[in-house]
Each structure stands twice: as structure tokens, then as C-alpha cells.
């Protein structure tokens, strides 16, 4: 066993040093998912803004997608494997309760002895993990942190469920967080609203499922992810403006200082409403990766960040507001400086 000694000297500022992503090879159109839910391409596009999404195959796992994204993040950051002493994986779709995915991912990357753990905050998981990573580096507990947002949501949804089948998809994004000369990750504004925990949930717990197996045998129905889309839409549309404004204020900026806004890719209509109520300047890029990628939960923020950089809508060094929300209901927002990417 190789032990790593935690850093002893903190730093004043942190930044995202590099970004890497993994998008599954299979592109799935609306027509492919519409039949099973008695829907259509037009209905799905109008309701969600989605035209295509990516579905992982059996060889594209939470672990393999994470490793691929992490290697891209390391390359773009110019950070060596042995410089990373902590790995945080944000996911809700690692289907083992134990062990966590992060230690296996760290070992596959050659980060032997690194602290490694998973967090579960639904679609807000990446922004939660980014906050933890920044604080660990600033406090001196860690030198460089690998943050991964990854989901294989196709393992958890019922493809006949009209509320989820057209919406969710798979993918991974990773960043390296480390020390910086000036503020590259602003203070995080986060919280939760447990009164809305019913809005996005697993429809039964595992003990209920085991009891159903004993009663019904092969007729038992496994747990699936379910969502009350209207409840989520109303909550997000009316609750997140203050969170966004607080994150901008705590970073010492104004809305006009933003070069980009990267919201969780939950729904195209929610994205449009958030941009409108914040009165973003005309030159502020607005991430809309959901159109081609779908809702990838904890992976959606880094995937949308990469899409802005890849298409030239944003560039490394730009100032961006990140805002994510999801199961819990949980939420988190911070202003960041966009990183290098591959």
C-alpha cells in the first residue's frame, strides 16, 4: 500500500486547470425513443429541446467513461498522475452500494494511494464536488483534485416511462482543480429543499423490491428512476434566480461581467427562462448542450462546458456561471474561469 501525505500549506486561490469529457459512441434520435412512449420527435423537441442523446453500450461503463474523461483532463491541465492526491466522483448511477467507484478509477489511472470517494447529489453533483475540491486545495488538505461527473442513466430508467425515457442519457466529464495565482473558482452557493424530494426519486427502495420478489417472483418490477417533470420545472424556474445572483455577488462580479452561463442541462425551456430572468448580456454565451446530449445529470455541466469551448462560443479564461439542480432537491452554483480542454 502506498500512502499519500496530505498537503500542509493551504493556498488563497484555486482554479479549474483542465477539462476532459467522454461521450458514448451511440447517437440516439428522438424517433428511436418516441415509439415506446407513444410520442414524437416534435413533442420531445418542444417539451425538452432535445434532438439527440448518447446511450452507452455494455462496454462503456461508469468506470471506463470516467477514466477516459480523466485522462483528457490531466492532459489539458498538464498535470501528472502523481500530482493528484484526491479523486471525487459525482454520480447516482454506480450500481454498487459499496465499494465506491472512485478508488477503482483512481487505481486504474495510476493514482495509487490517493484519497478517493463518491458523492451523490443528483444533477447538482458536479458543482458540489467542485466546491469540495476547491476547499480541499485551499485548506491544504489536497494539492490537486480530480473531479469527475459521470452517469450511465440508461441503466436506471424505464424506456416505457413517458417522463424519463426521452430525457436522460449517458456520459462523463472531468476536471483537475489546483492552486492558482488568482480566483478561478468563486464561492459556492448551495443548498437543498427536502420538501421536494418526491420530484426526482427512485420509485421504490431495495427492501421493497426484495419483498416484491418474495411475493411475485419473476413478476416483480425492479426499481427505476422516476420524475415529476412539472414539479421540477416550476421549482427550478422560480427558485434559482436568487441562487445565481448570490453566486455572482459572492464572486465580486455583476451579471454583465459574465462571458458564459453553463446551467445543468435539464430542459431547454428551463435554460431559456433562467437566461431571461437573469438578463444576461448579449455577448454572454449560453450552454445548450442538451440539444445533442440530453440530460446527463452529474455529467452535464462539464459536458456543456466542453461543448462551449469546442464550438468556439467560449474560450479558456472566460468567466462562467455554473448552476446545477436535481434530486434532493439539491442545488449549487459558482462562478469559474474556464479551463484548457482536449
Could you confirm whether 123 is annotated as catalytic?
yes
The phi and psi torsions of 135 (rounded to 5 degrees) equal: -65, -35
Catalytic residue among 30, 288, 295, 340: 295
Instruction: Quote the CA–CA distance of 210 and 89 in Å, as a whole number.
Output: 28
**Beta-sheet strands, E only, within 203-318:** 225-227, 260-263, 285-286
Q: Which of 47, 39, 37 is nearest to 266 (CA)?
A: 47
**Residue 110: exposed, middle, or buried by beta-carbon count in 10 A (0-12, 13-18, 19+)?**
exposed
Residue 238 CB partners (closer than 8 Å, separation 6+): none
Where residue 76 falls (left for φ over 0; alpha for ψ -120 to 50; beta otherwise) is alpha
Q: What is the 3-state secondary structure (H, E, C) of 302-318?
A: HHHHHHHHHCCCCCCCC
Q: If you search the block for the grid coordinates 468563486, which residue do you land on?
A: 186
Compute the Cα dihedral for 19, 267, 328, 152 and give only its sign.
negative
Q: Pick the catalytic residue: 144, 264, 267, 340?
A: 264
Say if strands 145-152 and 86-90 run parallel, antiparallel, or are unpaired: parallel
- Is position 295 annotated as part of the catalytic site? yes
Strands 26-29 and 86-90: unpaired
Read off the DSSP letter of residue 337: E
Can 158 be counted among the known catalytic residues?
no
Query: In the numeric block, which cell numbers belong to residue 208?
Result: 421493497
Cβ proximity of 286 and 260 under 8 Å = yes
Catalytic position from the list 30, 94, 123, 144: 123
Helix (H, G, I), strand (E, B) or coil at 14: strand
Residues with a known catalytic role:
123, 264, 295
Amino acid at each position: 500500500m502506498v500512502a499519500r501525505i496530505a498537503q500542509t500549506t493551504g493556498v488563497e486561490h484555486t482554479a479549474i486547470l483542465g477539462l476532459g469529457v467522454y461521450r458514448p459512441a451511440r447517437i440516439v434520435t428522438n424517433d428511436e425513443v418516441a415509439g415506446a412512449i407513444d410520442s414524437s420527435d416534435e413533442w420531445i423537441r418542444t417539451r425538452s429541446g432535445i434532438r439527440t442523446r448518447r446511450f452507452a453500450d455494455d462496454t462503456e461503463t461508469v468506470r471506463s467513461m470516467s477514466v477516459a474523461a480523466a485522462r483528457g483532463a490531466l492532459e489539458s491541465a498538464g498535470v501528472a498522475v502523481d500530482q493528484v492526491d484526491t479523486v471525487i466522483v459525482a454520480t447516482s448511477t454506480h450500481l454498487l452500494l459499496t465499494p465506491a467507484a472512485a478508488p477503482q478509477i483512481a487505481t486504474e489511472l495510476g493514482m495509487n494511494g490517493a484519497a478517493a470517494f463518491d458523492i451523490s447529489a443528483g444533477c447538482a453533483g458536479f458543482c458540489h464536488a467542485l466546491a469540495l475540491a476547491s476547499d480541499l486545495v485551499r485548506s491544504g488538505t489536497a494539492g490537486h483534485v480530480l473531479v469527475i461527473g459521470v452517469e450511465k442513466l440508461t441503466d436506471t430508467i424505464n424506456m416505457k416511462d413517458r417522463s424519463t425515457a426521452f430525457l436522460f442519457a449517458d456520459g462523463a466529464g472531468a476536471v483537475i482543480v489546483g492552486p492558482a495565482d488568482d480566483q478561478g473558482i468563486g464561492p459556492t452557493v448551495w443548498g437543498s429543499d427536502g420538501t421536494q424530494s418526491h420530484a426526482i426519486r427512485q420509485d421504490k427502495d431495495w427492501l421493497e423490491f426484495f419483498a416484491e420478489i418474495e411475493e411475485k417472483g419473476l413478476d416483480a418490477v425492479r426499481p427505476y428512476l422516476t420524475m415529476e417533470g412539472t414539479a421540477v420545472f416550476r421549482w427550478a424556474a422560480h427558485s434559482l434566480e436568487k441562487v445565481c445572483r448570490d453566486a455572482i455577488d459572492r464572486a465580486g462580479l455583476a451579471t454583465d461581467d459574465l462571458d458564459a452561463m453553463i446551467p445543468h442541462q435539464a430542459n431547454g425551456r428551463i435554460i431559456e427562462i433562467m437566461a431571461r430572468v437573469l438578463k444576461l448580456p448579449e455577448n454572454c454565451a449560453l450552454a445548450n448542450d442538451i440539444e445533442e446530449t440530453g440530460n446527463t445529470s452529474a455529467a452535464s455541466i462539464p459536458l456543456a462546458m466542453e461543448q462551449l469551448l469546442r464550438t468556439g462560443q467560449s474560450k479558456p479564461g472566460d468567466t462562467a456561471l455554473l448552476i446545477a439542480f436535481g434530486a434532493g432537491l439539491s442545488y449549487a452554483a459558482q462562478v469559474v474561469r474556464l479551463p484548457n480542454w482536449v
